Structure 1
Amino acid sequence: MREYSVPVLVDVPASANLTDTVFRRAEEEPNVVALRRKVGDDWTAVTAGEFRDQVAGVAKGLIAAGVEPGDRVALMSRTRYEWTVIDYAIWTAGAVGVPIYESSSADQAAWIISDSGAKAVFAELESHEATIREDASGLPGLKNVWRIENGALDELTALGTEVSDDTLAERRTGRGIADLATIVYTSGTTGRPKGCSLTHDNLLFTARNVANGPLERLFTVDERAALLFLPLAHVFARIIEIVLIETGTILAHTPNMKNVAPDLQAFKPTFLLGVPRVFEKVYNGAEQKATAEGKGRIFHAAADTAVAWSRAETAGGAGLGLRLKHTLFDKLVYGKIRAATGGRLTTAVSGGSALGERLGHFFRGVGIETLEGWGLTETSAPSSVNMPGANKVGTVGKPFPGVTIGIAEDGEVLVKGRHVFQGYWNNPEATAEAIDADGWFHTGDIGELDNDGYLRITGRKKEIIVTAAGKNVAPAPMEDHIRAHPLISQAMVVGDDRPFVAALITLDVEALEQWKAANGKAGADLTELSSDPAIVAEVQKAVDGANRFVSKAEQIKKFAILDIDISEESGHLTPTLKIKRNIVMRDFTKQIESLYG
């Protein structure tokens, strides 16, 4: 078996826990700005001392409300300042946090609360509380539901006024690295979500080794700041939250994805975390804006130059002609893209799924180096990540310190390290299937390691399509390439036990508005557009582009453009925008059959 290890960089003592930095920093630097909270249109500073006091107040309230060490407390909310306060308050009270996606259904929320045995729940909005209470009769262990928008934090702080500082300190320091910190439920592309048990060690070891290792440069710039907008119910955003607290990077939140663009310009982050769809939207938005202004040819030339410049830098440096073109387009195009992110952003991290080489090179060429990383909920988010100055675009980087990555005989990626979870909550059978007798966690991803230790993910073991002719096809790379087209929202490759490979395509509703205006079809609806010859031709271009990278047996021979978009709201995507293949296959059986009729 081929494997690659990176030595541990930062050890974590047995007595440590996730709250230590919050309380230590408040003692050492009480007046330093730790977070910024959006109030109206202003970003209000929250000092380290103020943050510690709010965390302590809510933690005392939890203790007064009867939350005991090890009890599970759930949290259903959008990404916002209060989430981080509650997260650390739960840990300070010695309890275990259980995040719930704010988009979850009543059945999903009830399952997580019931399976985890949560004693209490924080709900952000009235609608979230209604979702939780819809199936509350089947949750006899649930004692409290606190609504954030209804003054829950103030209520708990008032409730805990009789709890002494000594009692709080005893609770807080009574938890060590071996203790459970959170149960994070996988978003579930198939079946019931499984709860991943992550300890203080899993999260703290990961955060400190990532922050002091491959990503150290991101957290040493002056006035470093980061804006979180991905759901904190997902372990990817959660580990970044912890990294930002550990490194003293100013943390801010935005709960509404529609506000990301203006919030980026107002907050001016130095560091950004996103999933590939976010970066695709940035690229597509810039392209559409340029086209609408009659500058489409300039933008495409600038994009090609950015990609070429980045590839040349990887190969040893751009020549004079390419450097001159790059300098020209920096003034005409790239500077405007950087300005749209606030003007201070030079680096971003992408995870969750494959970014694609073209986008990686494009953003690097623009001056926003996008570092791709890889991991799963079971590995506390990251297992590998690219590094500033050593970014091999198209890979997901090297293992971070303390991690070993191996490639099994069948190509499956295996992982070892202190970041690997303790097992699935209440599910020893699934745990035994995931972690073998030698301690390797079987990720289910297919990949390869190069001679320098960089990992490339080539597919998902359970998603490999086997055609009727016996050809193995990895759908993800083709889907990523097709989805990069500005008019396409999602793509799903099909062909299991079929004579050839085909695809279902959905159109991007937002991008279509500009296309309709530019093509004199303002009144056309999605049904009409899905069969419009011009749209079909655009989709064919995207499919042809994807087909160039695979063998003839793997190429997409036919596609169907659906007359609806698939989304998280429609039940076809997870909260991290992964396709629920079994649900799509079930709901669009007729369209799939028509491809093979």
Structure 2
Amino acid sequence: MREFGLPALYEVPSDGNLTDLIRRNAAQYPDVAVMGRKVAGTWTDVTATQFLAEVRTVAKGLIAAGVRPGDRVALMSRTRYEWVQFDFAIWTAGAVTVPVYETSSAEQVQWILGDSGAVAAIVESGEHVATVESVRGRLPGLRDVWQLDAETPGEGAVARLTAAGAEIPDATVDERAASAKADDPATIVYTSGTTGRPKGCLLTHRAFFAEAGNAVERLKPLFRTSECSILLFLPAAHVFGRLIEVAAVMAPVKLGCVPDIKNLTDELASFQPTLILGVPRVFEKVYNGARAKAQADGKGRIFDRAAHTAIAYSRALSTPRGPSLGLRIRHTVFDRLVYRKLRAVLGGRAEHAISGGAALGERLGHFYRGIGFTVLEGYGLTESCAATSFNPWDRQKIGTVGQPMPGTVIRIADDGEVLLHGDHLFTGYWNNPEATAEALADGWFHTGDIGTLDEDGYLTITGRKKEILVTAGGKNVAPAVIEDRIRAHALVAECMVVGDGRPFVGALITLDEEFLGRWAKEHGKPAASTAATLRLDPELLAEVQRAVDEGNAAVSKAESVRKFRVLTSQFTEDAGHITPSLKLKRNVVAKDFADEIEAIYQG
């Protein structure tokens, strides 16, 4: 058993709640832009004073509608300014926010709203309204549904609640805003449900104070008021997005919100954030897209040499002697030719990013640091209010998920499971005492993840306890290690390792549709080539085999993938194969692709 912890850098208030932050900002930084808001395609600043006023206006409407302290209010929308506004308005009304992914099915909406006992819901679109209405007969506690983007002028959620709350006195809002205490629930965030029905994690105001406060203090240079800014494109319904929301308000730094990554390059160029938050797939796509463009322009060899130099340079930074003179010269040359352009794609001002949700991969981590854009990898769960460890900006160890967040203790149990202790943890699962007792045992949260701690307290995650495969030969295999390496290849969209009870390890692989078209063109394949037409193509299979070989390099021979199958379709959220946070639902994939798995082991 090994254990490592760091003292807290932030003193959690003994009382109070998250609405104290926006009142403090308006008092101390009245004219500082704390939000960026897109209006008619142009970013406009929202000051601390203005944001507080807009939050209180909506909170008055919620109070007028009968929302009481402790009531649960659902929030179903893409990431946008109004998400943050309504989140703080719900808290200002003394209520509890229940985030719902905007892609959720009617069954998922019914479960979350019904299980949480939500009395009201704010949704984004008419489609969302229809989804809620389709299950409303099974939600007796749901009274009101407000739509953000109503087709009729004056009927949108903000306008309707503003009008409804016009007669609510300021004193009433002040009283409601102060009603929640530090140990009261701020939100119920439902887990992704990879192995069953989603469970509602109760996260208190104290948990967010401890989480965001210590993160901001440890990453202080990245959260300088009036100098720094963050562009949030992750789902705000995910706990990682919520952490960034609260951390930005706590600092405070300007926060901009965009709904997705479809036009991410343009959004980064217009907002020019100093800090970017993402998941590994975002950083993989930036790299693969830049490499593909270089190859299309006849500069593929230059890009590959530049990438090799960046990785070597970053690796050398971790050695006592540092980069050699020759390496420094090559790095300087490629900075002018390649690296500056890549940094410009990322907005031009950002020097750091924070990555979570899955393993980034050592090679990609070194590549980005080598081009002058450091991606700080972290680790956490919904139950830990997002990050429980992260790489500090001044002492990064690429390949790990960093040290415990200040105020947090990480313990590795005798069986390798990662256990957590700290104020940032959830207090239990809503309406599920059995699951709570199982997860929170002896004062420690049992994550279900397997990991190791080095002598400096840096954590490495090696897999999920429940996802460990045991082959017919008795070999334990952690799928994530191989999958992350295979998925880093530009052609691969998703990978799922199989082999439980089987004679050897195999894999199901889906192809990245965007990159497949480029690959097909470069290799003289028909213009209309798809995964279905190319899945047996010898050249494509050889390329996928190279990705598999890269994954196998990280494990022993007994753990390596012996055979794989390229699928003709994708793992999708609609089909139930992946969660909104892009985690594989292995049992669903195994069921839907049972024939493909059997084919791996035939003959």
TM-score over 0.5 (shorter chain): yes
> What amino acid does structure 1 have at the position aligned with 2:481?
P
Deviation of 1:409 (Å): 0.3
| TM-superposed deviation, 1:475 | 0.7
Aligned partner of 1:505 in structure 2 is 509
Residue identity in the other structure for 2:207? N
Matched, 1:168 2:173: yes
Q: Which residue of 2 aligns with 1:126?
A: 126
Match in the other structure for 2:153 = none
Q: Residue 482 of structure 1 aligns with which residue? A: 486
Secondary structure of residue in 2 paired with 1:161: coil
Q: Does 1:327 align with 2:369?
A: no
> Cα deviation per residue 1:279-333 (whole Å; 9 max; x = unaligned)?
1111111111111111111111111111111010011310001111111111111
Report the equivalent of 2:577: 572
Conservation of the 8 A alpha-carbon contact between 2:77 and 2:100: yes
Question: Structure 2 matches for 1:196-275, cutoff 5 A?
Answer: 196-213=201-218, 215-220=219-224, 223-275=227-279
Q: Report the Cα distance in structure 2 between the residues aligned to 1:110 and 1:360, rounded to whole angstroms.
A: 40
State the alpha-carbon separation in 1 of the partners of residues 259 and 412 from structure 2. Answer: 38
User: What are the residue-to-residue correspondences of 1:423-502 with 2, within 5 Å?
Assistant: 423-436=428-441, 438-502=442-506
Q: 2:152 matched to 1:152? A: no
What TM-score, normalized to structure 2?
0.98
Per-residue deviation, 1:187: 1.1
Contact kept, 8 Å, 1:373 with 1:396, in 2: the verdict is yes
Identify which range, 330-339 or 221-230, moves more after superposition.
221-230
The 3-state SS of whatever aligns with 2:149 is helix
The CA distance in 2 between the partners of 1:392 and 1:53, in whole Å, is 43
Q: 1: distance between equivalents of 2:13 and 2:487?
A: 45
Contact 2:226–2:253 (Cα < 8 Å) also in 1: no
- The partner residue of 2:284 within 257, 268, 280 is 280
The one-letter code sitting in structure 2 at the alignment partner of 1:4 is F
Aligned residue in 2 for 1:179: 184
Matching residue's letter, 1:168: V
- Give the superposition deviation at 1:548: 1.7
> CA separation of 1:221/1:48 partners in 2, compared to 1, >3 Å: closer, same or farther?
closer
Q: Distance in 2 between matches of 1:27 and 1:388?
A: 30
Which has the larger displacement, 177-186 or 35-44? 35-44
DSSP-derived class of the 1:457 partner? strand
Alpha-carbon separation, structure 2, partners of 1:508 and 1:291: 17
Checking the alignment, whether the CA contact within 8 Å between 1:227 and 1:272 is kept in structure 2 is yes
Identity of aligned residues (%): 58
Cα distance between partner residues in 2 of 1:15 and 1:312: 47
Q: Does 1:382 align with 2:387?
A: yes
Amino acid paired to 2:220: E
Aligned mates of 1:349, 1:245 — CA distance in 2: 17
Q: Distance in 1 between matches of 2:250 and 2:352?
A: 19
Query: What's the CA shift for 1:570?
Result: 3.1
* 1:592 aligned residue: 597
| Residue in structure 2 matched with residue 304 of structure 1 by the alignment | 308
Partners of 1:237 and 1:249 lie apart in 2 by 15
**Structure 1: gaps spanning 5 or more residues:** none
1:466 counterpart letter in structure 2: V
Match of residue 102 from structure 2:
102
**What is the identity, as a one-letter code, of the residue corresponding to 2:213?**
R
Structure 1, residues 545-574: CA drift from partner, whole Å, max 9, x if none?
111221111111000000112122332111
CA distance in 1, matches of 2:476, 2:350: 41
Query: How far did residue 222 of structure 1 move?
Result: 5.6
Q: Supply the AA of the counterpart residue of 1:85.
A: Q
Of 412, 416, 435 in structure 1, the residue corresponding to residue 417 of structure 2 is 412
Which residue number in structure 2 is paired with residue 63 of structure 1?
A: 63
Task: State the shift of 1:9 in Å.
Answer: 1.5
Match of 1:394 in 2: 399
Measured against aligned partners, the alpha-carbon deviations of 1:123-179 in whole angstroms (never above 9, x if no partner) come to: 101111111111110001000000011211111011111111111001101211011
Structure 1 stretches (4+) deviating beyond 4 angstroms?
A: none
Partner residue in 1 for 2:566: 561
Question: Does the aligned pair in 1 maintain the 2:479–2:497 contact within 8 Å?
Answer: yes
Q: Distance in 2 between matches of 1:311 and 1:99?
A: 41
The residue type equivalent to 1:494 in the other structure is V
Which sections of structure 2, spanning at least 5 residues, go unmatched?
151-155
Q: Is the partner of 2:82 in helix, strand or coil?
A: helix
Does the 8 Å contact 2:9/2:217 carry over to 1? yes
1:93 corresponds in structure 2 to 93
Q: Choose from 519, 522, 525 the match for 1:518.
A: 522
The residue type paired with residue 281 of structure 2 is R
Structure 2 CA distance for aligned equivalents of residues 266 and 165 of structure 1: 37
Instruction: Verify the 8 A CA contact 1:55 1:88 in the aligned structure 2.
Output: yes
2:574 & 2:295 partners in 1: Cα distance? Answer: 30
- What secondary structure does 1:211 align onto? helix
Distance in 2, Cα, partners of 1:555 & 1:591: 19
Q: Distance in 2 between matches of 1:532 and 1:586?
A: 26
Let me know the Cα RMSD of the aligned residues. 1.0
Distance in 1, matches of 2:197 and 2:134, equals 19
Q: Is contact 2:396–2:402 with CA below 8 Å preserved after alignment?
A: yes
> In the TM superposition, what are the counterparts of 1:186-201 in structure 2 within 5 Å?
186-201=191-206
Which residue is equivalent to 1:79? 79
Query: Residue 521 of structure 2 aligns to a residue in which SS?
Result: helix
CA distance in 2, matches of 1:94, 1:386: 35
TM-score, normalization by structure 1: 0.99
1:390-443 deviations in whole A, cap 9, x for unaligned? 00000011011110000000000000000110000000000000011x201000
Please report how far the alpha carbon of residue 40 of structure 1 lies from its aligned counterpart in structure 2 after TM superposition: 2.3
Residue 544 (structure 1) aligns with: 549
| Aligned partner (choices 523, 532, 541) of residue 537 of structure 2 | 532
Once the 2 structures are TM-superposed, how far is the Cα of residue 486 of structure 1 from its aligned partner?
Answer: 0.5
Q: Secondary structure of 2:386's partner? A: coil
Say how many residue pairs are matched.
595
Secondary structure at the residue paired with 1:257? coil
Which whole-Å CA distance do the structure 1 matches of 2:226 and 2:542 have between them? 49
Offset, 1:221: 7.3
| 1:29 Cα offset (Å) | 2.7
Q: Counterpart of 1:266 in 2: which secondary structure?
A: helix
Amino acid in structure 1 at the alignment position of 2:589: V
Q: CA deviation at 1:30?
A: 2.1
* Matched AA of 2:508: L
Which residue of structure 2 lines up, in the alignment, with residue 2 of structure 1? 2
Is contact 1:224–1:250 with CA below 8 Å preserved after alignment?
yes
**Is the 8 Å Cα contact of residues 14 and 178 (structure 1) preserved in structure 2?**
no
Q: Which residue identity is paired with 2:381?
A: L
Please state how far the C-alpha of 1:223 moved relative to its aligned partner: 2.2
Q: Which moved more, 1:330-339 or 1:567-576?
A: 567-576
SS at match of 2:273: coil
